[in-house]
């Protein structure tokens, strides 16, 4: 478990005199500093936000200062999956930046999709490696368990993306006493959501009525100035497919309507870092990172 910075005198074996201390090099005016949490904070991450984050950040203007307009953060959990490219295509068509909370297991299975998410200008988030709920983990979400899950996922994402992951979302929005201190010690803010679309709970095939339900649920955020909308581009929970389907085609179908709805209401789409918009696509034949 990562601890707060602690400096303490060195523990010395019993000795008979200062002369012996000097002879062994152990008599010194310095103190021994235990490795601290700050040494594990990824370079490039801001100070983690206190508590749980339920609001989208304000958009950053050209000077880097926050602007007063309404913002919305679209977030996608449980990928990457075969539906991620279709989600990316919709976001690219509208020039909308989003945040993808990926599981380490799915990143290891689809590393090219993680690279593509970043190359197209989106933000990565850490969604643990195995996506286990606390009740399914022996001993629950202890600090040691969470640190291992977050470190493993973060290392892989950084190797693929070339940058640190500064935000995490706990599977199912679950909490434990160790969650905030462990995530913060690793440099990550803990992000929840303010608008749940329940897109994960739909049928295993296209359904016009379910697409409408997703859009209707997303519209709740129009009553907020800075909503965070929860959507899914994959399935990482462990229920059988007969209980929770991995089909996310209805999310893909609902996404253009959700974007247009927020655009009409005057919202700016932001990643959880406050940046908006997407970079220009690379010219044909030019490889992206």
Residue 220 DSSP symbol: G
For residue 60, the model assigns a pLDDT of 87
For residue 25, the model assigns a pLDDT of 36
For residue 28, the model assigns a pLDDT of 34
For residue 67, the model assigns a pLDDT of 84
Q: Is 142 exposed, middle or buried (0-12, 13-18, 19+ CB in 10 A)?
A: middle
Distance CA 17, CA 165 (A): 51
For residue 37, the model assigns a pLDDT of 40
For 50-70, the three-class secondary structure string (H helix, E strand, C coil) is CCEECCCCCCECCCCCECCCC
Per DSSP, the chain holds a count of helices (H) and strands (E) of 8, 11
**Residue-wise pLDDT tens digits, 218-247:** 999 999 999 999 999 999 999 999 999 999
Distance CA 126, CA 165 (A): 7
Q: Select the CATH number that applies to the domain covering 52-269 from these four: 3.20.10.10, 2.40.50.140, 3.90.1150.10, 3.20.20.370.
A: 3.20.20.370
For residue 41, the model assigns a pLDDT of 52
For residue 280, the model assigns a pLDDT of 80
Of the listed 106, 184, 232, 233, which one is catalytic? 232
Distance CA 281, CA 289 (A): 12
Q: Where are the domains of the chain?
A: 52-269
Residue 232 bears catalytic tag: yes
3-state secondary structure of 21: helix
For residue 75, the model assigns a pLDDT of 98
Of the listed 77, 78, 199, 233, which one is catalytic? 77
Blockwise average pLDDT, block size 10, the chain, 289 residues:
37 35 34 35 82 96 85 98 98 98 98 98 98 96 98 97 96 98 98 98 98 98 98 96 97 98 97 93 52
For residue 15, the model assigns a pLDDT of 34
- What H or E segment, with its residue span, contains residue 196? strand 195-196
For residue 286, the model assigns a pLDDT of 46
């Amino acid at each position: 478990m990562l601890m707060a910075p602690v400096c303490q005198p060195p523990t010395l074996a019993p000795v008979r005199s200062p002369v012996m201390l000097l002879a062994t090099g152990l008599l010194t005016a310095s103190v021994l500093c235990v490795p601290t949490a700050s040494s594990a904070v990824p370079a490039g991450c801001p100070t983690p936000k206190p508590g749980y984050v339920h609001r989208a950040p304000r958009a950053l203007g050209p000077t880097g200062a926050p602007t007063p307009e309404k913002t919305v953060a679209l977030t996608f959990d449980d990928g990457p999956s075969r539906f991620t490219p279709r989600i990316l295509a919709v976001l690219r068509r509208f020039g909308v930046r989003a945040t993808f909370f990926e599981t380490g297991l799915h990143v290891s299975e689809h590393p090219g999709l993680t690279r593509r998410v970043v190359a197209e200008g989106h933000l990565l988030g850490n969604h643990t490696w195995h996506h286990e709920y606390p009740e399914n983990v022996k001993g629950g979400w202890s600090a040691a368990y969470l640190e291992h899950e977050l470190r493993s996922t973060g290392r892989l994402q950084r190797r693929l993306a070339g940058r640190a992951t500064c935000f995490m979302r706990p599977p199912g929005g679950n909490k434990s006493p160790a969650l905030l201190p462990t995530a913060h010690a690793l440099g990550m803010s803990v992000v929840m959501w303010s608008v749940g679309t329940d897109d994960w709970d739909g049928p295993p095939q296209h359904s016009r009525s379910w697409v409408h339900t997703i859009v209707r649920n997303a519209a709740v955020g129009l009553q907020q100035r800075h909503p965070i909308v929860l959507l899914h581009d994959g399935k990482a929970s462990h229920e059988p497919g007969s209980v929770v389907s991995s089909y996310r085609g209805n999310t893909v179908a609902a996404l253009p309507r959700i974007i247009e709805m927020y655009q009409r209401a005057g919202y700016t789409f932001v990643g959880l870092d406050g940046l908006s918009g997407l970079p220009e696509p690379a010219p044909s034949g030019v490889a992206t990172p």
